[in-house]
Structure 1
């Protein structure tokens, strides 16, 4: 939410002192955004928002009055005794005379509400959360005065619904009252339109946390930069303690963990580390693979150039293409390469990083320049060499050169390396003598310089008034080139960061018109084309999605980070790491993809471990206890973006069996195969194994009869604070 707020001020050019309110727009309903909640509680799907700014002490939007929430929504207080559930309109569908196992209870569809049923069944099969409500312990923690919650209404609705689902008397119940409460406090869930089960789950968990927050009066903390100076583990612990001093509930105890967020400025290398709480993890899936072809030309120094035609996907990276290229050519010695392409109009060079996609639009070739040094090694610098005449007309393809750490870019390097490479690759006559005028008129003017400048710059021989070229240099992106100095002083590189692919130096030879006949215009057009096809992905492993979640990435132009050192927004690199894991872990597979122009569902088969998901080695905190999880619930989505349906499956720890839930239908089923491979899972709920006295995991939750639900002990606000210091979419048709 802090990022959203920064984006709002940046996009609308607002002054920092302006007060704003952010609303989610749902038709005629405007829902005020609670900026203390997770952003996914509001914006998991494509939502419109409205920004209201305060002027003269008033906001523009006046929210229409609504009837205050009353407990009459739940029926008389004695209606929930003895397992009955008269407080829910329509009651429930009775089971046969023999009853049903507790928890084997469906939720009736009220009209496009299968998303709600799927999310609620996952919540219902979280043992710690369920027992907390069934035992009425939640009544001791109700926080009806919390303005960020629903005044206790949501918590009571969930408690009553769980009691009806787990009393063994009903085969199905109607969640009408629960839906009414949700619609009252979150208008986007009102009505009977298509919704997303994860978005509902996120809202319910945030709402339950605020309704059951044991902290009645939250202390205020200012941002303290001094915390970041502490040792990493101490910083993380202090951040968690401060979070717990404002947030203490069954939701935090059971489902909240901690992420380590690292931002690095590409200009000044400033590192910013923060530790943030999370209630679930949204895991990325790769976009759908679109097959295309890309021509790649490899520019060697001493061997014949190679030309490849890649059959690849839109998401194939430079690193992946290079690996295939190396396998095909089978180099005997180590070689280094830099990938680049030329802009269509200006022919300016764009260097490609290893994580960039290699596919380029408009049919432009991608070139691979062989270089002498590893471009990723610390201290390596990149130089791009051009040969031009007139204003921006190219005599040859550009070339890429590297300088190892400690090596300087000098006039000697320009002549000994860049000019010699140009002669070797692009001249008709490799022994062409640049000192000769070759019969040309010495009064011919160079199109790029005056007589004085021409005589002063780029001289190959001192006795010639008209050298065949003029040499200029300029940092990448600069439109003001500088003449090459006469002495051999080092030419500086841009001093704005360590990104070789961004902060390179350009050296340009401007040739006299008459000298362009020396160039052979060679572009690798005569090479035999080789074919390489990228193997298409068929499925994704859950561990891969976790790796992608923790992979370092560069922020886009629309997500710039404000660097406190540079005092401006930069495209920082960002990395998220798992630091502290909860007892119940919710993993959300981001199957629904939204862009400004399209909406689609990603139908990858995901290989999901059912028993023994081991996250110990993925956690960045090396002091973290063993974290091995077993699957206990799944929310599934069938169909496409134009029409779909949600169901759920949950492991009933009371009868030790899996139950399949399809709206009002609930039936015992065979547990999923291990690993579970399907394109339908949307949310996964995992339960962490207990540890013995030696810190080793006890057997899985399916067979451990002694695995009793451990409820957090009752604590007063003072005790809690002291302790903390000490330590989808359903689519158009259902």
Structure 2
């Protein structure tokens, strides 16, 4: 067993590795762990082969589990938005979490981030950890201004919510209550089935739930619950309930409600209702907003685009879909998606409502596509693709799909092969979606080895066009100058997206004036160097949330032979070692320092003290006694000035000089062939040398002897024997003649006594920094790219990647063939999707390129290679817009109403007149 009761590192590694493979089971609890802490733990236990050299080293000990990087600032419960599994956090099952906590504890003041495993899907069910909970607003009927927010799993039941509300508002257990779901300003729905889950009840993010207590006379403050006829539409509107009920409502309440779905005290069956807001006057058909159910703007935008596609909407409004519903298609959804969509479209085009709440539709989508079942932001195009495919299969006129053997062209004319491909497609796929949205690609593959040419024709439902890749990205970095009195400066630099660290240094040099070859780039995390970069390393390894510090160094790290660059970390000696195996914990910001290769302990101590003089507190004049440390004003360390340091160490606080000298002189250094993972203390006291101060630098001032130092220091070689030094009896330090390999594994640790740190180390000053004007700089607007440029890029020949090769039937091997796509035939309604989002192992990004496209007369004829295609022109009818960054932002839509030909702007439940100049293309529909 390791120190502190923790299992040995090999056991930790094997146990957690096995538990990471635990299968998800509905109802189980899993825990989030910040990926940065987890990576540090993996180093400490040698989890991966490349971390074996650091295994067990005390200076990579991760300390208590720290999840602060996952939480919103100032909120110990709310997760930051848009966190990604494995990139931002690791999921551990309960047993794995409990073991880690028993070995390392949890950071003081933090709570475990526990999440339930929920089941998604209708036919093909799969389990998923529900990372983001549903936030509900809870209040009492008598005081709706007093709102309390709580988070629930969508697997929690209505009964669980009611118990929580009772607890919050101290409602006695014998008091009879009922629960209401409050919509908009004054619309309420009874929640009358305790076993129904949040997901089944259709509760969404930010929903207001009201609890009502029964009066002493047996009546309810809100009056009796509202019944609804069993045959009524899911989109009908409940009366706006108030203490003074209308005559109609009272008459409705007097009906026999034994068989009603609204008998609240007996908790009868729950129905999933949608609500609509009646217009004050007759509304223009189609000008109907969609309520946001919590991050569902992506769905609303897609629906508005399809709703304003005339041939599809007329098909549903005229009930033609009912004749073609396919309930037996194994690839379909038993007609449920088509029927639910039809109901929604009829409500939107009825002219009765200014907006509707599409809960029933979203529930159906979530049942068949679990990725859309929650209330996290999703991609509008992915929802649109699912919806078009779902409608197609639900309305497929082919009841039994025949098996078709696909053929290669084998030199046959394109016209023959294309007609054959389309006929084969129609034998299996024939629906209103095919009629309106399907076209044909020509795909040409050429083998690089045998020159085999393969030609196929493939149907498509939408045209996904690439955008010119963004060539630059913006990084925020902190520059730490050599001047010890200068605060770190925050800069915003523009660097090549596919660049290296040298590019970062060059860009920073242009802003700061510091030479690029005098910079060292680091990633600081948890008070240590998480990574020290080489100039040739890729910028793609820097993530958006990394704290990048660039240090100005006076020497050239590859050429200077007289000085050596040392990473320095600050440690505080712990009186209790429950948080650290080494009896110390890291604090503050680490730094780099260049020191002479020939040195003494006193000189090195004074160099380190000088480097920290900006945030090492001074003594007062009354403290300036014989024990004070004095240094020249030019260096910022002066016992009589603002940076004078006085120590009042006593035997009770720290060891005596004699003890320090004895322990330091008796310590032996390891040779190069001995274990290199060592800590060698070289911080003993010595009063015989004056360190940095000389006659020239002190200008007549004196450096008086001091009884104790503020800190001792230890060299830590973590698998790197290049940082070697020789210390003789005179306390002289000689570093190895070779320039050490600079990385995060080897550093100099400065160990502070807690009392001295509290007295002399200014934490606030150490964290202080300034902002360069570049941080506030907003780059100029990017130039437009024409839509035709994107189409040309789409039809450009490309080489397949190594991860996506093509199997050549001649070579009988997978080859990185060249591939070219061409347009052969286009559909009546063309859906264009601009591929704005890009992904990599380390990055998520949105391409913000502006696209210039015609509102009318988009001529696609020049891109059709079918000689018999004829003219092909389109007019824009709808656009899905996306504002903001990847994983977040907001979706809206522009669409042209089919009845009046006017453009309108759809922003969730709001509908307003639109302007063509405001349209920003993400997904466009052309007719």
TM (normalized to structure 1)?
0.49
TM (normalized to structure 2)?
0.39
Q: Which has the higher contact order (CA 8 A, sep 6+)?
A: 1
Higher Cα Rg, which structure: 2
